[in-house]
Structure 1
C-alpha cells in the first residue's frame, strides 16, 4: 500500500464535504423519502453507490477513450433520469390523497426504480464528475497506486456518501412518520411530487 492513513483520512474528509454540499442526489433522496419513507429511499442510495465507485475508478485508470465513450453514455443516462424523475413526480402528485399502504409502487416495484434513479442521478451529477475526475489526482499520485490502494479509495468513495445518504433518509423518514393527518399527507405527497419533477427539470442544465 503506497498511500498513508493520513492521506485516506484527508480524502474521507473531502468526501464528507462533498456529501454536505446539496445537489441532485440530496433533492432526489428527500423527494423519495417524503413520498415513501426510508423504504423507498434506501434503494436510491444503493444506486448512488455504483457511481461513487465508478467515478474514482475511471479517474484512477485514466483511460481517456473510456471517458470519451462514457461521456456519450452519460448524456443518455441524463435524459433517462429526466424522464424517470418527472414520471415519478407526476405519479406521486396524482396519488397525493392516497395513504402509503395503498400505493405499492412506492415499496416493491419502486425499489428497482429508485435504484436506477440513484444510478442515473449520480452518473449525471457534474459535482461528482468534477470531484472524482478533476480533484482525485490532487489527493493521490495515481501513477503509483497499487490495487490495494485503489480498493481503499473506492471503498471510501462509496462508504462516506452511503452512510450520509442513509442517515439523511432515516432522519427524514422519522420526521415523515409524524405526518399522519390526511392534510399533512397530501401536502407531503405534493411536495415530494414537485421535488421529483424539479430534479427532472434541473438535470439537463447541470
Structure 2
C-alpha cells in the first residue's frame, strides 16, 4: 500500500469522521455529561466498529457486511431508543455540581459506541461501497491491511477526541449551578438527537 493510497484513505476518513452523525452526537453528549476521560471508552467502541467494517471490505465480505447491517435493524432501533432514554434521563435530572455527574461503566460505554457504528448504514455504505471504488482492497498485503487499519483508527480517534476535548472544556467552564443544568440539558438533547438519527436512518432506508 503506497503513501498516496494511505493519504487518500486518511482524507476520506477525515471527511467521514467530521460529518455530524450519531457517533459525533454521542461523543459530544458523553463529553458534556461525563468529561473527556469518561468518553474514551465510547470512542474506542466507535473505532472498533469502523475497523470491523474495514476488515469486512478488505476480505471481500461486503455482502456479509450488508446482510449484517440488515440483521441489525432491531439493534439500530434499540440503540436509538437507548440513546434517547439516556438523553431524557439526563435532561430530567437536577443540575449536579461540575464534575460530579456519574460516569457510565467502561464496558457499557464501549458497547454503546460499537453498536452505534455497526448500526450506522452510512458506515456500511462507505466501507463496502465507496472505499473499494478508489482503493484496490484485494491487492493489500498483511502489512497494507495493518497500515490501513492504523490509519482508520488514528484519524477517527483524533477527530472524535477533538470533539470530546472541546465539549469537555465547555463543560468545565460552566461552574455555576444553573450553567451546569444547561450543559446537562444540551447533552441530553444531543443524546436524543443521536437516537433519532439512528431511528430515522432505519425508517428512510
**TM-score with structure 2 setting the length:** 0.89
Residues 69 and 138 (structure 1), Cα distance of their counterparts in 2 relative to 1, 3 Å cut:
closer
CA shift digits 1:175-195 (9 cap, x unpaired): 210100111011111111122
1:18 maps to 2:16: yes
Match of 1:178 in 2: 173
Match of 2:196 in 1: 201
Match of 1:79 in 2: 77
Distance 1:205 1:55 in 2: 21
Mapping for residues 21-100 of structure 1, pairs under 5 Å: 21-63=19-61, 66-99=64-97
Provide structure 1 residue ranges, at least 5 long, that are not aligned to the other structure. none
Residues 74 and 177 (structure 1), Cα distance of their counterparts in 2 relative to 1, 3 Å cut:
same
Task: Look up the SS of the partner of 1:143 in the other structure.
Answer: helix
Match of 2:134 in 1: 139
Deviates more, 1:173-182 or 1:130-139: 130-139
State the shift of 1:141 in Å. 1.4
Which of 92, 106, 111 aligns to 2:106? It is 111
State the shift of 1:204 in Å. 1.5
**TM-score with structure 1 setting the length:** 0.89
Task: Look up the SS of the partner of 1:55 in the other structure.
Answer: helix
- How many residues are treated as equivalent by the alignment? 201
Moved over 6 A (4+): none
Mapping for residues 115-130 of structure 1, pairs under 5 Å: 115-130=110-125
Name the Cα RMSD after superposition: 1.8
Provide structure 2 residue ranges, at least 5 long, that are not aligned to the other structure. none
1:160 maps to 2:137: no
State the shift of 1:102 in Å. 4.5
